């Protein structure tokens, strides 16, 4: 445990709390009718995004999902840019064209949230092929859900990654539900990591709500990838605190189940406890970090609210079409 010193602990906690605070604020704003479209919250899954991205540089790649806010923040997107994007403002990361399900920041290797479940497998694999071809020392990480693991795209990508020993890590955020359906109803073998054997790649199955475990497992996989050891498939067990989308009635799971997980499995609470137990962090520090994060979220939201919408006249910018500005 010693490898987590005070500085690192503060940094990791700040990242997790930033995601939690962002998602919480977004939920409130959405329920208050302040945000357009619909949004998916990753609250409860912060340890995976933060633990994995802890090992990544700006030039490493990630592909994300419909539940992508946490991945983007962990990879380093500016809070102003992601908040403005959720409002559909021109200052957004995608100039308002994308929205919550398509948040992307290519300048830091964040190749996009994706509204198509399973859409990231092949894209991450292609990015890994480019890395290998150009002999760059980077890695591509594909975040996906337990439900996405049932898409054929999973199979096609992992087989190819296995054949070419590509520098890619497939991280399953296994929160045990796909929308309203529990994984056991639709997935023959729910420990996704078992499938690594079908593709001759490394596999691991871990507690995805324990930040330290995530850091260790992801670290090994990413090191393997960067050292030419090929791909890894990691099944990370977690739980989403909110409904599938904000507004979900959640009839498919019991309040008790949700509360129990929040109480006993919350990745932030567990990390804080652990760090305090070993004396790396103090309660005062934790509160101070939480407060600082709150201020940042306020500032980013204020920025986004004040930012202007795109010009309707620019509706055709960024796509080829007759007479459109290229």
* Rounded least distance, CB 173 to ligand TPP, Å: 6
The footprint of Mg ion (CB under 5 A) covers: 145-147, 175, 178
Query: Does residue 163 bind its own copies (CB under 8 A)?
Result: yes
- Report in angstroms how near the CB of residue 156 gets to other proteins at its nearest: 4
Place of tokens 């420990």: 191
Output the 3-class SS for 171-224: EEEECCEECCEEHHHHCCCCCHHHHHHHHCCEEEEEECCCHHHHHHHHHHHHHH
Is residue 69 a contact point for its own copies (CB under 8 A)? no
Cα(235)–Cα(75) distance, integer angstroms:
20
State yes or no: residue 14 binds its own copies (CB under 8 A): no
Q: Residue numbers of the site for ligand TPP (CB under 6 A)?
A: 66-67, 115-118, 145-148, 173, 175, 177-179, 244
Q: In the bound complex, what is the minimum distance in angstroms from residue 35's beta carbon to other proteins?
A: 9
Which of positions 136-155 make contact with its own copies (CB under 8 A)?
150-155
With CB under 8 A as the contact rule, the residue among 24, 78, 159, 182 that binds its own copies is 159
Q: Cβ closer to other proteins: 39 or 286?
A: 39
The least distance separating its own copies from the CB of residue 168, rounded to whole angstroms, comes to: 13
Q: Which does 41 bind (CB under 5 to 8 A by kind): Mg ion, other proteins, its own copies, none?
A: none
Minimal distance, residue 91 CB to Mg ion, in Å: 31
Between helices 283-306 and 79-87, what is the axis angle to 10°?
50
Tell me the torsion sign for CA atoms 75, 79, 80, 84. Answer: positive
Separation in Å, CA 150 to CA 11, 121, 237, 247, 301: 35, 12, 16, 25, 36
β-pairing, 181-182 with 177-178? Answer: antiparallel
Q: Is 172 in the site for its own copies (CB under 8 A)?
A: no
Residues 173-202 binding its own copies (CB under 8 A) are 185-189, 194-195, 197-201
Give the burial class of 161: count Cβ atoms within 10 A of its Cβ; 0-12 exposed, 13-18 middle, 19 or more buried: buried
């Amino acid at each position: 445990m010693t490898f987590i010193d005070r500085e690192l602990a503060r940094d990791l906690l700040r990242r997790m709390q930033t995601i939690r605070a962002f998602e919480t604020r977004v939920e409130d704003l959405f329920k208050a009718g302040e945000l357009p479209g619909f949004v998916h919250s990753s609250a409860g899954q912060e340890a995976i995004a933060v633990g994995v991205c802890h090992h990544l540089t700006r030039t490493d790649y990630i592909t994300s999902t419909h539940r992508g806010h946490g991945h983007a923040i962990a990879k380093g997107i500016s809070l102003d840019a992601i908040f403005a994007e959720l409002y559909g403002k021109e200052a957004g990361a995608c100039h308002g064209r994308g929205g919550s399900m398509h948040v992307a920041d290519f300048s830091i290797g964040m190749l996009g949230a994706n509204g198509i479940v399973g859409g990231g497998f092949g894209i991450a694999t292609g990015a890994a092929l480019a890395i290998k071809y150009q002999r760059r020392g980077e890695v591509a990480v594909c975040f996906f859900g337990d439900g996405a693991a049932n898409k054929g795209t999973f199979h096609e990508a992992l087989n190819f990654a296995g054949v070419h020993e590509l520098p890619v890590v497939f991280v399953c955020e296994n929160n045990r539900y796909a929308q309203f359906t529990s994984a056991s109803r639709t997935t023959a073998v729910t420990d996704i990591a078992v499938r690594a054997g079908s593709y001759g790649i490394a596999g691991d199955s871990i507690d995805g709500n324990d930040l330290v475990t995530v850091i260790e497992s992801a670290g090994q996989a990413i090191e393997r990838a960067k050292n030419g050891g090929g791909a890894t498939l990691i099944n990370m067990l977690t739980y989403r605190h909110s409904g599938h989308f904000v507004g979900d009635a959640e009839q498919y799971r019991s309040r008790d189940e949700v509360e129990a997980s929040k109480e006993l499995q919350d990745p932030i609470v567990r990390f804080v406890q652990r760090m305090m137990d070993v004396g790396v962090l103090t309660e005062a520090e934790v509160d101070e970090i939480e407060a600082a994060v709150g201020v940042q979220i306020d500032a980013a939201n204020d920025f986004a609210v004040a930012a202007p919408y795109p010009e309707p006249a620019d509706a055709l910018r960024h796509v080829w079409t007759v007479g459109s500005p290229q």
